[in-house]
Homo-oligomer: A and B are copies of this chain.
């Protein structure tokens, strides 16, 4: 492995000059620059990242801490982060699948000296504590984290608004018995979506009854089980709102198995609007979240914090959601069929989209 010394020796100059050439310092004679450059590429020299960042104390890398990498949600977040980071000359150091605080803290400390900043996604309620004892002033952006009294930058999804809008829509369609399949316990997104559901009901004068709120954990299978449970209950709901699409998919299977038609017998709606939603039969109504935009926003915010380490003011941003109505909720419009041209719904300020998406 060739080092800067090798290049210096072969080129017959000092290491300082080689360094200057590599970093495009203006105070190098054109002739020297050419010569050194030649030698460097002949020896296929590449500066040693660790050595460089040790002295410059910049790594051009941002760390990403995720609960998991499974499913379309996380991969989309990563994509959004990566694209933005890439574009600004940053790498991504990814770390996922940690269970519990000690694991998170371990991951956090192992990133010391390897990253310039962190994007942490940890929707568990107690995650923020782990982040607290990071060195003060270390750039961090939280994703979907519990409300943090402006100590950190936070990017959130409009979980509450989205859920409320969807339930309102179901109410408008005339449903009175609307069930919810809840998300994982202790998860912020889940809690907010539940709150949206309850408020929507309350606003309509309906009272939330406990037997209409069944537990789930964001997995397809939990949606399946929850729906079975609901259907065994005495007062069947006429509509089901699943706290995410994966559970809605499970729910759909359970409904089919029970011989119930969607939306004629039971209306169904999800949350997230993963790409698969449009391809289900019937196409799934959902609350669209521009997930990769979530990653992008977080990255931009983090880069800003890295650049302006002192003057940076933490703030909370909320990413709006869009109600996407398809057949499964029973809204009155012709059966939608996916076409190859509508690759992805456009993000806009329009809060409601119907049909072909």
Contact = CB atoms under 8 A, between A and B. Distances in A.
Contacts of A256: 337
B111 A257 contact: no
Given A49-B113, A53-B50, A78 B78 contact: yes
Copies of this chain held together in the complex? 2
Interface in A68-120: 69-70, 72, 74-75, 78-79, 82-83, 86, 91-97, 109-114
A49 B111 contact: yes
B86 A75 contact: no
A97 B60 CA distance: 17
B92 A91 contact: no
Contacts of A60: 110
A66 B113 CA distance: 25
Contact of A113 (B47, B74, B253): B47
A276 interface: yes
A59 B113 CA distance: 11
Nearest to A225: B340
A86 B93 contact: no
Interface stretch (A147-155, A216-224, A298-306): A216-224
Interface residues of A, number: 62
Contacts of A112: 1, 46-49
Contacts of A176: none
Contact of A75 (B75, B276, B338): B75
B79 A49 contact: no
A23 interface: no
A275 B275 CA distance: 11
Interface string A217-243: 000110111000000000000000000
Given A75-B75, A91-B93, A97-B82, A50 B340 contact: no
A221 B341 contact: yes
Given A75-B79, A82-B96, 18 more contacts: A1-B112, A44-B133, A47-B113, A49-B110, A49-B111, A49-B112, A69-B75, A69-B83, A72-B75, A74-B75, A75-B75, A91-B94, A92-B94, A93-B93, A220-B340, A225-B340, A250-B340, A279-B279
